[in-house]
Copies of this chain bind each other. A is one copy, B any other.
Amino acid sequence: MDKPYVIGMDMGGTNTVFGIVDARGNVLSKSAVKTGTHQDINLYIEDIYVELSKLIEDAGGISRIKGIGVGAPNGNYYTGNIEFAPNLNWKGVIPFSNLMTEKFGIPTVLTNDANAAAIGEMTYGAARGIKNFIMITLGTGVGSGIVIDGKLVYGHDGFAGELGHTCSVRNNGRQCGCGRTGCLETYASANGVARTAREILETRKDESLLRNIPIESITSKDVHDAALQGDKIALEIFEFTGKILGEALADFVAFSAPEAIVLFGGLTKAGDFIKKPIIEHMEKNLLTIWKGKIKVLFSDLKEADAAVLGASALAWEI
């Protein structure tokens, strides 16, 4: 093959990770730069250029690279822009794809991080061979990528699949970063788990290992650790989280009738603590025609590689 490699890049609020990937999904080399420290987008791209050029040289030069795939918050596949990303320094509309293409001289394709993850699962992960699935990323927030007939759904404007911002609690729901209340993301994310922990600990008296941790610094990992020791409140927190997510999944199934739902991200480390209530409450809320038929899969891609792989897969389609 003329151009045997692609570049995958995952832009997070803190770090940007990129790597060179071959057609089999091997990550040949990988590096990273800080995202959050750059106020000027051009300096940030310069930084990427310096680091990435080393990897490109090692891979035999830019002529061996087909293109660059990027997963970025609020990344728009149609325009190649990053638009109004709340957790990035650069405000407004950033023509990221164009800037990268100019800098590197090879085509760049961009989508949001959850869409990139969905493409990664479809190409290399738990969703291989599955043509209809919904990817849900359970990280700091909740992202999603929807695949129908083997194609990612971008919608009319490129922003389809914001399932983290469907309404889980209609009245008196939690305040969301998007300005509204009750969004799924405020419950079923790592932050959501921490918020649930604080709510329960503050409003109740039951003993819990979690009371040994300053309440404002409790994380979803703390809750997991406590659950592993059989802590009842920790188990209840996962039960509650799984219930909200399971109920939401049942509604998502009614939309696209997927073969599977693939879950990915920090919260999936809680394993059966979260998986059991998710499945229980999804099943309880599914229409009869779908009961017992929707697979709930946890991603088995290494988290460190998954985002880069997903973004890279995008570049094969250039």
- How far is it, in angstroms, between the C-alpha of A256 and the C-alpha of B83 when the chains are bound? 18
Question: Which of A5-13, A99-107, A208-216, A287-295 is found at the contact surface with chain B?
Answer: A287-295
Interface residues of A (CB under 8 A from B): 83-84, 131-132, 146, 148-149, 151, 153-163, 165-167, 169-170, 178-180, 247, 250-252, 254-259, 285, 287-290, 293
B163 near A255: Cβ-Cβ < 8 Å: yes
Q: How many copies does the complex hold?
A: 2
- How far is it, in angstroms, between the C-alpha of A257 and the C-alpha of B155 when the chains are bound? 5
Given A132-B155, A257-B155: A251 and B288 within 8 A (CB)?
Answer: no
- Interface of A: prevailing SS: loop
Name the B residues within 8 Å of A157 (CB-CB).
257, 289-290, 293
Name 22 interchain pairs, CB-CB below 8 A, sorted by A.
Answer: A83-B289, A132-B156, A148-B148, A153-B257, A154-B257, A155-B256, A155-B257, A156-B259, A157-B257, A161-B254, A161-B257, A162-B257, A163-B255, A165-B287, A166-B254, A167-B251, A167-B285, A170-B170, A170-B247, A178-B288, A251-B251, A255-B255
Min distance, Cβ A244 to any Cβ of chain B, angstroms: 10
Min distance, Cβ A155 to any Cβ of chain B, angstroms: 3
- How far is it, in angstroms, between the C-alpha of A169 and the C-alpha of B171 when the chains are bound? 10
- How far is it, in angstroms, between the C-alpha of A179 and the C-alpha of B289 when the chains are bound? 12
B287 near A178: Cβ-Cβ < 8 Å: yes
A254 near B162: Cβ-Cβ < 8 Å: yes
Name the B residues within 8 Å of A179 (CB-CB).
288
- How far is it, in angstroms, between the C-alpha of A84 and the C-alpha of B162 when the chains are bound? 33
- How far is it, in angstroms, between the C-alpha of A132 and the C-alpha of B160 when the chains are bound? 11
Min distance, Cβ A157 to any Cβ of chain B, angstroms: 5
B250 near A155: Cβ-Cβ < 8 Å: no
Min distance, Cβ A86 to any Cβ of chain B, angstroms: 10
**Nearest B-chain residue to A182, judged by Cβ:** B285
Min distance, Cβ A262 to any Cβ of chain B, angstroms: 13
Name the B residues within 8 Å of A132 (CB-CB).
155-156
Name the B residues within 8 Å of A287 (CB-CB).
162, 165, 178, 180
